[in-house]
């Protein structure tokens, strides 16, 4: 554990500043980090905060009004949302269900999205496989339309219709 | 496979082959995966962590692959061996230093490494020389499918692959390339590159990842978000932006040559001269000078050396490698002497061969 370079508490925030190729490492505790992040940078052009810093800020920004919800513990691993907020790591896969409302806004802030559109396990039941495929195709369609690739978009639309037809036939 | 054998080679990522290797050192993709029925490593007690390590270690060993995986229990390795794996980018500093049951599975070619019980149960990594992200994806996608046929991953229809940190949830992917950008550093344009990348949600790190220093003008450019875009879209994002950075670096190199060829040639020759004759030299200075020499070879200002040799020197002069090559533990001051001796020997040999 590194100690904070401004006081003697344990550092939780590690910042690497790169200015003109020159690198400075900074290790700060939570209180000093807050001060550091809020101070205006010497030179705006040189500002280059690390991802962790942004992530921690996001965690702190969340309103603590929902303090009751914060004390709810995951029945599986026992972690509370409050603990997650201080550590930045969840305790088990079930946390994504238990803390879903809070995580939705956090994920929207971090990724600007709340729905997975990528790969899915081959083991998933066939019905869900088709559902995943549909989500993926819709995402691809969006991209094709945005990049004005209408030929690809038309092809994807046909594929989506076909898959939807298939799925409604089955039910 | 023995760990000591590693010191005889430079590892896949420094092989110096593949597309765009004058600037792109290596391409890398990692996937974060977790088992459905266990808590994440940070919340697992020591017995559970042991169970996870044993279960995954056995599964990985038994995969039917042309390049089988060898499993090492990190806790039972000597410190210098753990450091060796960090220097070769096969494990993270975090995995080397943390407590509790943990392991790594590595292919003989060192292009595949799977960390067990790092921040997630599995951190799968594929590393190739040069600008070759499609090959990385093909290979890691296949490996992921193979592992998934043995164990059940934590997966949700909405959030995708579930990870200990929500910054990795969804695809669990990080796509990155390592670039050597000495001219952009010299011309001080590197800052503009960082700003441009940051605007499109890409991050820049030093040679050894999170919080590490940008030693030897090496920079890792990687994707940051993992949810809402597919793996292919994220790979494409990096594939589209890297060529313009390469173009930027090449233009900066040309500008340096045309502005003052003699001064640049002098600087590079002096760097080479120090490496050939120093009696004691630190790791930082070595990296810095090797970076100049590497650019000198690409600009045709140094002829008797080849890129793979320089790449190998970058890694062989790191502390753990040096101690392995030397066969004993060395304190910092002795390491600096051993490093200088090693460089004189290697570069002297290169000169003889050239003549």
d(CA B118, CA B140): 18
Chain A within 8 Å of B99 (Cβ-Cβ)?
Answer: no
Most confident of A41-55, A72-86, B133-147: B133-147
**Average pLDDT over all residues of chain B:** 91
Outline where A1-149 has alpha helix (H): 30-38, 51-61, 67-70, 81-87, 95-98, 100-111, 126-146
pLDDT at A60: 65
Query: Closest chain B residue to A49 measured between Cα atoms?
Result: B198
Q: What is the DSSP string of B29-74?
A: EEEEE-BTTS--GGGS-HHHHHHHHHHHHHHHHT---SSPEEEEEG
Chain A within 8 Å of B146 (Cβ-Cβ)?
Answer: no
Is B220 within 8 Å of B207 (Cβ atoms)?
A: yes
B5, pLDDT greater than 90: no
When pLDDT is averaged across residues B87-97 and rounded to a whole number, the result is 93
When pLDDT is averaged across residues A12-19 and rounded to a whole number, the result is 68
- Check residues A142 and B208 and name the one with the higher pLDDT: A142
Chain A within 8 Å of B166 (Cβ-Cβ)?
Answer: yes
- B252-274 in b/e burial notation, b at 16+ Cβ within 10 A? bbeebeeeeeeebeebbeebbeb
Q: Measured between alpha carbons, how far is residue B16 from residues B126, B155, B244, B307 in Å?
A: 16, 37, 21, 6
Q: Least CB-CB distance to A92: which of B43, B149, B173? A: B43
Q: Least CB-CB distance to A93: which of B34, B171, B227? A: B34
Least confident of A117-121, A155-159, B157-161, B214-218: B214-218
Residue A100's contacts (CB-CB under 8 Å, 6 or more residues apart) are: none
Angle at which helices B332-354 and B283-298 pack, to 10 degrees?
20
Residue A44 — pLDDT band, cuts 50, 70, 90? very low
Rounded to two decimals, the ipTM of the complex is 0.86
Residue A43 — pLDDT band, cuts 50, 70, 90? very low
- Check residues A64 and B119 and name the one with the higher pLDDT: B119
When pLDDT is averaged across residues A1-19 and rounded to a whole number, the result is 69
pLDDT at A47: 41
Pairing state of beta strands B112-116 and B103-107?
antiparallel
Which positions in chain B touch A102 (Cβ < 8 Å)? none
Most confident of A52-56, A142-146, B276-280: B276-280
pLDDT at B72: 95
d(CA B14, CA B21): 10
Give the mutation candidate from A48, A93, A101 for the B interface (greatest B CB count, under 10 A): A93
List, for residues B321-338, the tens digit of each pLDDT value: 999 888 888 999 999 999
Most confident of A3-12, B290-299, B342-351: B290-299
Tokens 């070879």 belong to B297
A45, pLDDT greater than 50: no
pLDDT at B214: 59
Q: Least CB-CB distance to B206: which of A23, A46, A52? A: A23
d(CA A121, CA A133): 11
Tokens 């490492």 belong to A25
DSSP character for A92? S
A48, pLDDT greater than 50: no
Q: Least CB-CB distance to A51: which of B155, B224, B229? A: B224
- Check residues B77 and B4 and name the one with the higher pLDDT: B77
A117, pLDDT greater than 80: yes
A15 forms beta bridges with A26
Which positions in chain A touch B43 (Cβ < 8 Å)? 77, 79, 89, 91-92
A32, pLDDT greater than 80: no
| Percent of chain A surpassing pLDDT 90 | 31
Specify the 3-state DSSP secondary structure of B203. strand
pLDDT at B205: 84
Residue B78 — pLDDT band, cuts 50, 70, 90? very high
A41, pLDDT greater than 50: no
When pLDDT is averaged across residues B315-325 and rounded to a whole number, the result is 91
List, for residues B136-184, the tens digit of each pLDDT value: 999 999 999 999 999 999 999 899 999 999 999 999 999 999 999 999 9
**B108: nearest Cα among B75, B137, B65, B148:** B65
Is A74 within 8 Å of A95 (Cβ atoms)?
A: yes
B213, pLDDT greater than 90: no
Residue B354 — pLDDT band, cuts 50, 70, 90? low
Asked whether the beta carbons of residue A113 and residue B225 sit closer than 8 angstroms, the reply is yes
Which positions in chain A touch B198 (Cβ < 8 Å)? 48
pLDDT at A135: 81
Angle at which helices B307-316 and B332-354 pack, to 10 degrees?
170
pLDDT at A52: 60
Q: Cβ–Cβ contacts within 10 Å for residue B71, how many?
A: 17
pLDDT at A42: 45
A164, pLDDT greater than 90: no
List, for residues B230-273, the tens digit of each pLDDT value: 999 999 999 999 999 999 999 999 999 999 899 999 999 999 99
Chain A within 8 Å of B209 (Cβ-Cβ)?
Answer: no
Q: Least CB-CB distance to B170: which of A46, A97, A116? A: A116
List, for residues B191-200, the tens digit of each pLDDT value: 899 899 989 9
**B308: nearest Cα among B297, B317, B318, B319:** B297
pLDDT at B71: 95
Q: Write out residues 308-337 of B within 8 Å (CB-CB) of A.
A: none
CA of A107, closest CA in chain B: separation in Å?
Answer: 7
């Amino acid at each position: 554990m590194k100690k904070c370079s401004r006081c003697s508490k344990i550092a939780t925030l590690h910042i690497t500043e790169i200015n003109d190729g020159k690198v400075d490492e900074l290790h700060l505790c939570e209180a000093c980090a807050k001060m550091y992040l809020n101070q205006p940078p010497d030179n705006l052009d040189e500002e280059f905060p690390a991802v962790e810093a942004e992530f921690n800020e996001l965690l702190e920004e969340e309103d603590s009004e929902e303090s009751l919800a914060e004390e709810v513990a995951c029945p599986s691993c026992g972690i509370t949302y409050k603990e997650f907020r201080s550590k930045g790591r969840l305790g088990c896969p079930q946390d994504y269900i238990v803390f879903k409302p809070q995580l939705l806004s956090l994920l929207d802030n971090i990724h600007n999205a709340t729905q997975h559109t990528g790969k899915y396990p081959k083991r998933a039941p066939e019905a869900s496989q088709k559902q995943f495929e549909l989500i993926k195709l819709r995402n691809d369609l969006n991209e094709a339309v945005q990049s004005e690739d209408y030929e690809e978009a038309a092809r994807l639309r046909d594929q989506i219709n076909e898959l939807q037809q298939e799925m409604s036939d089955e039910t | 496979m023995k760990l000591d054998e590693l010191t005889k080679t430079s590892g896949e990522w420094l092989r110096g082959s593949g597309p765009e290797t004058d600037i792109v050192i290596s391409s890398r993709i990692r996937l974060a995966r977790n088992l459905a029925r266990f808590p994440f490593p940070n919340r697992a007690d020591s017995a559970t962590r042991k169970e996870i390590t044993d279960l995954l270690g056995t599964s990985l060993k038994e995969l039917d692959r042309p390049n089988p995986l060898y499993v090492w229990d990190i806790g039972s390795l000597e410190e210098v061996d753990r450091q060796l794996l960090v220097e070769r980018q096969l494990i993270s500093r975090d995995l080397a230093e943390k407590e509790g049951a943990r392991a790594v599975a590595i292919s003989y070619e060192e292009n595949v490494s799977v960390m067990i019980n790092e921040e997630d149960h599995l951190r799968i990594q594929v590393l190739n020389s040069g600008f070759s992200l499609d090959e990385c994806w093909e290979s890691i996608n296949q490996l992921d499918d193979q592992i998934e046929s043995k164990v059940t991953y934590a997966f949700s229809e909405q959030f995708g692959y579930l990870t200990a940190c929500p910054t990795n949830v969804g695809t669990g992917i990080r796509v990155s390339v390592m670039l050597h950008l000495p001219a952009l550093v010299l011309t001080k344009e590197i800052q503009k590159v960082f700003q441009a990348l940051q605007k499109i949600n890409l991050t820049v790190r030093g040679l050894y990842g999170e919080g590490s220093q940008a030693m030897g003008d090496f920079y890792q450019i990687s994707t940051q978000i993992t949810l809402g875009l597919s793996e292919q879209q994220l790979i494409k994002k990096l594939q589209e932006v890297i060529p313009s950075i390469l173009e930027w670096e090449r233009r900066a190199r040309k500008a340096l040559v045309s502005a003052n060829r003699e001064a640049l040639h002098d600087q590079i020759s002096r760097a080479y001269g120090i490496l050939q004759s120093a009696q004691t030299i630190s790791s930082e200075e070595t990296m810095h000078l090797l970076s100049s020499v590497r650019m000198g070879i690409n600009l045709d200002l140094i002829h008797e050396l080849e890129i793979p040799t320089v790449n190998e020197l970058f890694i062989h002069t790191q502390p753990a490698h040096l101690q392995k090559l030397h066969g004993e533990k060395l304190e910092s001051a002795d390491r600096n002497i051993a490093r200088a001796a090693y460089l004189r020997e290697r570069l002297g040999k290169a000169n003889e061969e050239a003549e």
